[in-house]
Structure 1
């Protein structure tokens, strides 16, 4: 057990909280809390702050800790130290990067950035996970879309901007969507009409509309927020 893990465990027990209660307050899994206390997870200053608040006890800015402290006090001479197991030990053959990924995978989501084809990742961005969601959406479905043309300039969506999107395959309400139509992908405002009809709207300086049936297009994702690159 690492020193920071021991401290968290000690304070949690003193406050009469179970690992499950602390995990719920932090918005993480119970196993994540147990791994922190046992020294299996790396803990950041930000997480220390959240734990301090949840336990109503100031743990202090401890920084980033590995799964075990590099050195721990011996039970003999107070000036001596004894080495203990490091994060990437030969016995476990666990890469340091994997430890980092496991630790932050519970609090941060690596959100991919795609072009319209979504066939390869062109960039990545870290966003916080709250209650197993990112920006209020299922973390497995979120991504950023790099706007590739000026079709939506009339909506103040310009080439080079990034739109935060959520994977969807149907329309439950009007909005801005990434769609596939006539073998190509495009961003359009989509409005539901009567029956199985949809109105596609875009604006390159002139408003253009087109009425199609739901069978003619494929809904890829809903775009919910725009990130303007300055």
Structure 2
């Protein structure tokens, strides 16, 4: 399945919009839109609505490509096990970047796949 960013890029290209042109239509910077397409950032609800409108599709269709765990689920997880909150605070205190946390998680996930 495509990621949200991949799907946005695919639709942008089908509509024959350059990255800069598309960003201008959205009143956003091209680097920000590029980061969304590359999965480095996720759009807010307002930006998602703008993107959907510019691409001529529903925001709900775009949301179906967002594979992140919903915030409500993360909050439930943190409430059920305070260790998650403590772990996140330790990461933040040590100034570990989000990118590094993602690399650690991906490395861990890769290790589990090799064990299977």
Question: TM-score scaled to structure 1, two decimals?
Answer: 0.28
Structure 1 position 9, deviation (Å): 0.6
Partner residue of 2:97 out of 76, 85, 94: 94
Partner of 1:103: none
Q: Distance in 2 between matches of 1:40 and 1:95?
A: 10
How do 1:105-144 and structure 2 match up within 5 A?
Answer: none
How do 1:42-191 and structure 2 match up within 5 A?
Answer: 42-60=42-60, 62=63, 69=68, 93-95=96-98
Q: Distance in 1 between matches of 2:26 and 2:39?
A: 18
Runs of 4+ off more than 6 Å: none
Structure 1 residues without counterparts, runs of 5 or longer: 71-87, 97-230
Structure 2 residues without counterparts, runs of 5 or longer: 70-87, 100-116
Q: Distance in 2 between matches of 1:37 and 1:11?
A: 11
More strand by share: 1
Structure 1 position 53, deviation (Å): 1.1
Q: Distance in 1 between matches of 2:59 and 2:3?
A: 12
More helix by share: 2
> Bigger radius of gyration, 1 or 2?
1
1:8 and 2:11 correspond = no
Partner of 1:153: none
How do 1:185-204 and structure 2 match up within 5 A?
Answer: none
Q: How many equivalent pairs are there?
A: 73
Kindly indicate whether the alpha-carbon contact (under 8 Å) linking 1:15 and 1:55 is maintained by their aligned counterparts in 2: yes
